[in-house]
Every structure is written in structure tokens, then in C-alpha cells.
Amino acid sequence: MIDAGLLEEILTSLLIVVGASFALVGSWGLVRLPTLMERLHGPTKATTLGLGGILLGSIAYFQLTQDVWSAQELLVSIFLFITAPISANMIAKVHLHGVRLKDAETIASPAGRPPQSPGKGDWATYEAPHRDTPVATSED
Amino acid sequence: MRRVIPHPGLSVLLALVWLLMANSLSFGALLIGIVIGVLLPLFTAPFWPRRPDVRFRYGIPYVLLVLWDVVVANFEVAAIILFRRSRDLHPRWLVIPLELETPEAITVFAGTISLTPGTVSADVSACGKYLLVHALDAADPDAEIARIKQRYEARLKKVFA
């Protein structure tokens, strides 16, 4: 006879351990990958499945063992899903500037220098977005 | 109706977010949620003069697909980090030609690329027709570009039609 409380605790701890291991692997990636652009891939993992697992564990804990309706964790993950790509994008933009300026502390990725934009003009990091395009920042 | 509730989708979303924040399903929380859902879109309407039409019929399956891909790609990237030597890695810059034409659609597309582990969107071209993406391991860049376009962009074109 296995009692239900034990099963609930096993499920909760499993979710938390899975989430924590993904966060750990993401952090290990941050340490061992060769340059900044590769290292950027580590944190995107940690915030998605790593945090997702821990938040699911939190929901399961409150729902099953405490009998409290809790879904605030969903909000945490939604906000993270919205903000994580933006911070990654900002770091990538700084890297692009460093590569272009031949900054001594910027080491180019093994992928090489970023290619030129095939279209008219440059990448938006280097040049203001053109008017009347989907990426235009003003409407005058 | 349009004048009282200019953006029904946003109103529902705000009410839901309020309920989640309050963390209860009481009558009071629901009431405040509805008040917020009605008032906030009214006051912020000048900030989004031309909002896109989102077709939820395609949007919801898209979100589920991305969530599933995030989980699968997490395992792939974990395997790369743990078992692949750095010199066997094939990091590549990908230049993805965009067919999406609204800022909202391009933003969601770039966000999707950053969220699925293994690819990070780095920049958009000043002409708005190309996306610069860094891939952690893409031995065949053209195949990877075709996969991303077919899997995400083709679906997003239907969502933001």
C-alpha cells in the first residue's frame, strides 16, 4: 500500500530536481562553451525548462500537498518568456558592436564575424531602421 | 461596443492576469479584474493605433508547438553541452530572409527563435527583410534556415494574417 501523500511528494521533488538539473547544465554551458555568442545559449535553457520544471513543482506542491489553488507561477514563467529573448538580444547587440569596433576584449565566435546584411543597408544595430519598413521606429 | 471595449483580447488577458496575480477566484478579484480589463485598454488605446489581427485559431496551436519544441530542444542542447567537445561544435551565423511584414509578427518570430534553445536571434536588418541568428550547432546552415522558416514562419503568417 503506497499512500497518496508519498506519491505527491515524489512527483513534486521529481519536477524540482529535473528543473534544477537543467539549470545546472545551462550554467555549466555558460562556463565551458568557447565564446560569448555560444555562452548565450546556456541561459536560454536555464530560463525555459529549468525554471519551468521548478515552477511546475511549486504548483504541484501547493495544489497537492497544501490544497491551495496557486497559479501565480504561470505569471512568473510568462514574464520570463517575454523578457529572456530581450536580454539575450541586448547582449548579442553589444557583441556585434564589439566585433565591428575590433574591441580587444571581444573574441569573435568560432562561427566567424557576423555576415553582412544581404539587403539594402546594414543590420539595425549599426544603422537606424529605414522608414516605411516593418522595423521602422518612428512614423514621420 | 468597439468604443467601450476597443481590444477584447487584451481585456480578457488583463482580467486573467489580474486573477493570477490575486491568486484567487473570489468575486472581488473577478470584479477588479473586469474593471482593469475595461479601463486599461481605454486609456492605452492611443499607443496602439494599428493593432494586428491575431487569429487565435492558429495562435494557440502555435504556442503549444513552441512549448513542445522548447522541451525537445532543451534536451538536445543539454546533450551538446555535456557530451560534445568544443572543437566538434559547428556554431554558425544564419541570415534568415523574412516574409513576415508586421512588427508584431517579426517580434514574435525573433522571440520564438531566442526561446528555443540552440538559436538566438541577434539582430534585424535596417530594411526589415532579414534576421541575423546565431546557431549553437548547425552543420548545415541552409537546412536549419529552411527548417526554422517552414516550422515557425509559415505558421506565424497564418496567425498574423
Quick one: B33 and B104 in the same domain?
no
Domain-embedded: residue B82: yes
HSE, CB side, 13 Å, CA atoms: give it for residue A55.
18
Residues B30 and B105 in one domain: no
Q: Percent of chain A scored above 70 by pLDDT? A: 96
Asked if B33 and B63 sit in the same domain, the reply is no
What is the β-pairing status of strands B119-124 and B92-97?
A: unpaired
Specify whether the CB–CB gap between B33 and B16 falls below 8 A.
Answer: yes
CA angle A40, B145, A87 (to 5 degrees): 25
Residues B63 and B21 reside in one and the same domain:
no
What are the sequence ranges of the domains in chain A?
4-83
For residue A33, the chain B residue with the least C-alpha distance is B86
Is residue B102 within 8 A of residue A51, CB to CB? The reply is no
> CA angle at residue B14 from A70 to A46, to 5 degrees?
55
What total of structural domains would you count in chain B?
2
**What local confidence, expressed as pLDDT, does residue B1 receive?**
58
B42 DSSP 8-state letter: H
Q: Is residue B2 part of a domain?
A: no
Q: Which three three-digit cell numbers place residue B55?
A: 487569429
Report the C-alpha gap between B69 and B61 in whole angstroms: 12
Cβ distance B120 to A93 less than 8 Å, yes or no, reads: no
Residue B90 belongs to a domain = yes
What pLDDT is recorded for position A113? Answer: 80
Q: Which residues of B105-119 are buried (b: 16+ CB within 10 A; e: fewer)?
A: bbbbbbbbbbbbbbb
In the numeric block, the cell 470584479 is attached to: B31
Domain of residue B17 covers 8-47
Out of A28, A82, A109, the one facing B81 most closely (by C-beta) is: A28
- Put simply, the answer to whether B117 touches A81 (Cβ < 8 Å) is no
A40-65: average pLDDT: 84
Phi, psi of A133 (to 5 degrees): -120, 165
Same domain, B71 and B42: no
Question: Does any domain span residue B129?
Answer: yes
Contacts of B117 in chain A (CB under 8 A): 41, 44-45, 48
Q: Testing the interface with A: which of B109, B136, B160 to mutate, by most A Cβ within 10 A?
A: B136
Judge if B103 and B132 occupy the same domain. yes
Is 0.90 exceeded by the ipTM? Answer: no
Tell me, yes or no, whether B67 and B114 share the same domain. Answer: yes
pLDDT of res. A2: 67
Tell which residue, A77, A44, A81, A43, has the closest CA to residue A59. Answer: A77
Indicate if B29 and B71 belong to the same structural domain: no
Which of chain B's residues have a Cβ under 8 Å away from the Cβ of A46? none
B114 contacts in chain A (CB < 8 Å): 44, 84-85, 88-89
**Distance separating the N- and C-terminal Cα atoms of chain B:** 24
Along the 161 residues of chain B, how does pLDDT read in single tens digits? 567 777 788 888 889 888 888 877 788 888 999 999 989 888 888 877 777 778 888 889 999 999 899 888 888 888 888 888 888 888 889 999 999 888 888 989 999 998 888 899 988 888 888 999 999 888 888 999 999 999 999 999 988 87
Measured in angstroms, the CA of A75 and the nearest CA of chain B are apart by: 7
Q: Do residue B96 and residue B41 come from a single domain? A: no
What residue of A is the nearest CA neighbor of B26? A69
Q: Same domain, yes or no, for B134 and B86?
A: yes
The answer to whether residues B40 and B60 belong to one domain is: no
A26 C-beta neighbours (distance < 10 Å), count: 25
Answer whether residue A4 shows pLDDT above 90: no
What is the C-alpha to C-alpha distance for residues A44 and A61, in angstroms, rounded to an integer? 25
Residues B60 and B129 in one domain: yes
Give bridge partners of residue B134 from the DSSP assignment: B93, B120
- Is this prediction's pTM over 0.90? no
Q: Which residues neighbour A21 within 8 Å (Cβ) at sequence distance 6 or greater?
A: A50
